[in-house]
Amino acid sequence: MHLFDPRPSWPEGTARVNVMQLRAPWFLRMPDETVQQVTGFLKQNNIALAVPLGFVSSDTCGQGVEGLGTARQQAVYPREMKKRGIDLDYVVMDEPLFFGHDYSGKNACNFSIQQVAESVARNVKAIRSYYPKVQFVLVEPEQSLQGGVAELSQFLDAYQAALNELPVAVRFDLAWGL
């Protein structure tokens, strides 16, 4: 928590950091005073807040798979963060294409690219109901997508068709096990 002291010990860093990513569950476990200290620090230092969330919803598959959950589970974090007065600038979409379409492990959904895009669009709209101005960042392990860049392009086309926008950024994650 010293990172978020009112007079930080890292002034050169705070001058160069534009966005800080913190996990939603952390915010919901912390007492209000701690949450206020962190969010106050970010505002004071003009640092935007990014939170990673899951974006593929299913009641029939995906139990225990990263980034997947029921629609009810997916709605908990943005709703509860809004109740606590936490402002979100960015939401990071945690590999929805890979885990919704390509992942083949236990409880895999193997949705079509279109189904993944539709689920992501529903969750984007749900989050926007709490945070109308939030921007979305897509994270995908491009080298792990079975269809590679063409698959990612197809997903982004479906995303844009559903939402009339693209994510503000795409971040490529590394598949460390390859």
Asked if the structure places residue 55 within a domain, the reply is: yes
Q: At a CB cut-off of 8 Å and minimum separation 6, what does 41 contact?
A: 4, 5, 6, 8, 47
Rounded CA-CA distance 178/163 in Å is 33
Asked if the structure places residue 107 within a domain, the reply is: yes
Asked if the structure places residue 11 within a domain, the reply is: yes
Identity of the residue numbered 176 = W
Asked if the structure places residue 139 within a domain, the reply is: yes
Asked if the structure places residue 177 within a domain, the reply is: no
Q: Report yes or no on whether pTM surpasses 0.85.
A: yes
Distances (CA, A) of 125 to 22, 138, 165: 21, 15, 12
Asked if the structure places residue 40 within a domain, the reply is: yes
Six token digits for residue 56: 């593929």
What is the per-residue pLDDT across 107-133, written as a single tens digit (0 to 9) for each? 999 999 999 999 999 999 999 999 999
- 169-172/56-57 β-pairing: unpaired
Question: Helices H, strands E: what count in the chain?
Answer: 7, 7
Domain of 41: which CATH number?
Answer: 3.20.20
Asked if the structure places residue 166 within a domain, the reply is: yes
**Number of folded domains that form the chain:** 1
What is the per-residue pLDDT across 1-15, written as a single tens digit (0 to 9) for each? 878 887 778 888 888
Range of the domain at 149: 2-172
Asked if the structure places residue 144 within a domain, the reply is: yes
